[in-house]
């Protein structure tokens, strides 16, 4: 069911070539939080700066399956880089869901020129509860005035510095809770929005994560996506799509951990017997392979459902939960197989292990996925 077309195979090889030529040789710099701008310039040359831009605005409009292929390959190379590049897709889903053609042109114009977009939902007091967003948007005449603070925003600083485009969520009526949430298209560099803290993270250091401080940010009324109160619906539909891409990154990350473990046990000899010939190790490798492949099938089943306009929200939560925990478990198993060597930076798995940990946290923690899944069954 999930066989790739010739075009999708070519796409996979194109991204794999980019990973081999641009990511792997620079992993040390990437893990220091350096080389981001140079790497993004090279990525823009591939024509894949944003995967979901409609053809009507000059984009390539890849289907979900093709997007998953790209994110799996990038996740194999570096989860942080995949997260950074993926920000252009995450920040664009709201425009595909509720944006007018004119709004889509405003948003995708700078991104297709080779800039970063951003998706600004999370707040210090509203991590997994989007209904608790405290940022406000007050209508005054023909504009809205926004005030509040966002946190953990991927590539938000780049979107501001590049004067690109971002989607900011704010409450137009806090008395309504989640029903008062709205979404706004904001041009980076507009007075009233600036970068606060830049996060120093354990992993995914190939992407930028920042706090956004919003103080009397004036945006035209025409920047509202959909209607007032549509924000929660837009956010949830966006995250449904984003979770499939995070799961695809998890598959790539898990495959990388598995490949590092296989390479190690083939070369390592303990006593007179190669590790690969020890049954305990061989069985563990088999379990890791089964887990990676199961996650991959879930990802491409989800892509099939979405591309064929079938309900996929429930499946997306299952996929995100399974694939991201698989990535953590496989990375952990690979480190255990390698022992003390696995704990050293030289091994490669140490970095993969650090990067994998974020996958169960962002774009809806896995505790939230459990609520979504159980809620669908038990309501």
Question: Could you state, in order of their start, the residue ranges of all structural domains in the chain?
Answer: 6-112, 118-229, 232-378
* Torsion on CA atoms 314, 87, 101, 45, rounded to nearest 10: -130
One pLDDT digit (tens) per residue for the chain, 379 residues: 468 999 999 999 999 999 999 999 999 999 999 999 999 999 999 999 999 999 999 999 999 999 999 999 999 999 999 999 999 999 999 999 999 999 999 999 999 999 999 999 999 988 778 778 999 999 999 999 999 999 999 999 999 999 999 999 999 999 999 999 999 999 999 999 999 999 999 999 999 999 999 999 999 999 999 999 999 999 999 999 999 999 999 999 999 999 999 999 999 887 778 899 999 999 999 999 999 999 999 999 999 999 999 999 999 999 999 999 999 999 999 999 999 999 999 999 999 999 999 999 998 899 999 999 999 999 8
Q: Cβ atoms within 10 A of the Cβ of 290, count?
A: 11
pLDDT at site 235: 95
pLDDT at site 190: 96
Nearest by Cα to 1 from 73, 65, 45 = 65
pLDDT at site 128: 76
> Structurally, what CATH architecture does the domain formed by 232-378 represent?
Up-down Bundle (1.20)
String of DSSP letters for 157-184 = HHHHHTT-EEEEEEES-GGGGGGGEEEE
End-to-end CA distance of the chain: 31
Active site residue 363: yes
Q: Judge if 118-229 and 232-378 fold alike in CATH terms.
A: no
Q: How many CA atoms lie within 13 A of 197 on its CB side?
A: 10
Strand 143-154 versus strand 136-140 pairing type:
antiparallel
Q: For the domain 118-229, what is the CATH superfamily, name and number?
A: Butyryl-CoA Dehydrogenase, subunit A, domain 2 (2.40.110.10)
Q: Cβ atoms within 10 A of the Cβ of 162, count?
A: 18
- What pTM did the predictor assign? 0.95
- Dihedral sign for Cα atoms in the order 368, 255, 61, 161: positive
Nearest by Cα to 166 from 125, 128, 202, 116 = 116
What's the fold here for domain 6-112? Butyryl-Coa Dehydrogenase, subunit A; domain 1 (1.10.540)
């Amino acid at each position: 069911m999930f066989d790739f077309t010739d075009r999708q195979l070519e796409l996979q090889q194109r991204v794999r070539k980019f990973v081999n030529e641009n990511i792997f040789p620079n992993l040390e710099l990437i893990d220091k939080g350096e080389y981001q701008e140079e790497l993004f310039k090279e990525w823009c040359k591939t024509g894949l700066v944003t995967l979901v831009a409609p053809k009507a605005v000059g984009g390539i409009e890849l289907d979900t399956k093709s997007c998953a292929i790209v994110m799996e390959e990038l996740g194999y190379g570096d989860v942080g880089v995949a997260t950074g590049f993926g920000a252009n897709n995450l920040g664009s889903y709201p425009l595909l869901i509720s944006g007018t053609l004119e709004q889509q042109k405003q948003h995708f114009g700078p991104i297709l020129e080779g800039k970063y977009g951003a998706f600004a939902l999370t707040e210090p007091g509203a991590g997994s509860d989007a209904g608790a967003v405290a940022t406000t948007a007050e209508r005054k005449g023909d504009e809205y005035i926004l005030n509040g603070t966002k946190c953990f925003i991927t590539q938000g600083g780049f979107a501001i510095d590049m004067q690109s485009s971002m989607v900011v969520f704010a409450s137009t009526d806090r008395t309504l809770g989640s029903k008062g949430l709205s979404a706004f298209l904001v041009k980076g560099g507009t007075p009233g929005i600036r970068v606060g803290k830049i996060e120093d993270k354990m992993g995914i250091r190939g992407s930028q994560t920042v706090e956004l401080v919003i103080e009397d940010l004036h945006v035209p009324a025409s920047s509202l996506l959909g209607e007032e109160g549509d924000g929660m619906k837009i956010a949830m539909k966006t995250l449904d799509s984003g979770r499939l891409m995070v799961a695809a990154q998890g598959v790539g990350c898990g495959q990388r951990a598995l490949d590092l473990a296989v390479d190690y046990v083939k070369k390592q000899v303990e006593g007179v017997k190669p590790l690969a010939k020890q049954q305990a190790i061989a069985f563990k490798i088999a379990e890791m392979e089964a887990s990676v492949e199961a996650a991959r099938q879930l990802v491409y089943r989800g892509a099939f459902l979405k591309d064929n306009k079938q309900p996929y929200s429930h499946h997306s939560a299952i996929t995100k939960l399974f694939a991201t925990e698989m990535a953590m478990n496989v990375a952990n198993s690979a480190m255990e197989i390698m022992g003390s060597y696995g704990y050293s930076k030289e091994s490669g798995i140490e970095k993969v292990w650090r990067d994998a940990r974020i996958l169960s946290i962002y774009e809806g923690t896995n505790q939230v996925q459990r609520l979504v899944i159980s809620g669908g069954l038990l309501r």
